Homo-oligomer: A and B are copies of this chain.
Amino acid sequence: MSFVTYLRCLGCGKEYPPDQVMNLCPEDSLPVQMCFDLEALRKKESSDIAYRPELKSMWRFGRLMALDPGDAGDASNIFSLGEGFTPLYQWSDNNLAKKHGFELWLKDEGRPAPGFGANPTGSFKDRGMAMVVSMARKFGLEKLAVPTQGNAGDSLAEYAAQAGLSAAIAMPVKTPMPIMGKVSAYSQLYPGISIDVVAGTIREAGQLIKEKYLPQGYFSVATFEEPGWRIDGKKTLGLELAEPAIPFNDGAWQMPDVIVYPTGGGTGILGMWKAFNELQTLGLTDGPMPRIIAVQSDATAPLVQAFEAGLSDSDAVEAGQTIAYGINVPGGVGHFEVLRILRECQGTAVAVPEAEIGAALGRVFKKTGWWICPEGAACVVAISRLVDEQHIHPGDRVVIINTGSWEKYLPDIRHLL
Is A245 positioned at the interface, with any CB of B under 8 Å from its CB?
no
For residue A173, CB closer than 8 A to chain B, the reply is yes
Contacts of A182 in B (CB 8 A): 177, 181
**Which of chain B's residues have a CB closer than 8 A to the CB of A173?**
189
The quantity of this chain's copies bound in the complex is 2
Chain B residues with Cβ under 8 A from A410's Cβ? 407, 410
Per-residue interface assignment for chain A, residues 381 to 410, with 1 indicating a CB less than 8 Å from any chain B CB and 0 otherwise: 000000000000000000000000001001
A197 — which chain B residues lie within 8 A by C-beta? 185, 188-189
A232-266 to B contact mask, C-beta < 8 Å, 1/0: 00000000000000000000000000000000000
* The residue from B181, B187, B188, B407 contacting A414, defined by CB atoms under 8 A apart: B407
CB–CB A188/B184 < 8 A = yes
Contact of A180 among B111, B181, B195, B414 (CB under 8 A): B181
Does any Cβ of B come within 8 Å of A53's Cβ?
A: no
A414→B187 CA distance, assembly (Å) = 24
Q: Are B414 and A111 in contact (CB under 8 A)?
A: yes
A290 interface residue per 8 A CB criterion: no
Indicate whether A178 reaches chain B with its CB closer than 8 angstroms: yes
- Which residues of chain A in 182-203 are interfacial with respect to chain B, using CB atoms and an 8 Å cutoff? 182-185, 187-189, 195, 197
A185 pairs with B189, CB closer than 8 A: no
- B residues near A184, Cβ cutoff 8 Å: 181, 184-185, 187-188
Task: Say yes or no: B181 contacts A177, CB within 8 Å.
Answer: yes
Looking across the interface, which residue of chain B has its beta carbon closest to that of A189? B197
- What is the bound-complex CA distance between A188 and B387, given in angstroms? 46
Cβ of A180 to closest chain B Cβ, rounded Å: 5
Distance between Cα atoms of A177 and B410 in the complex (Å): 14
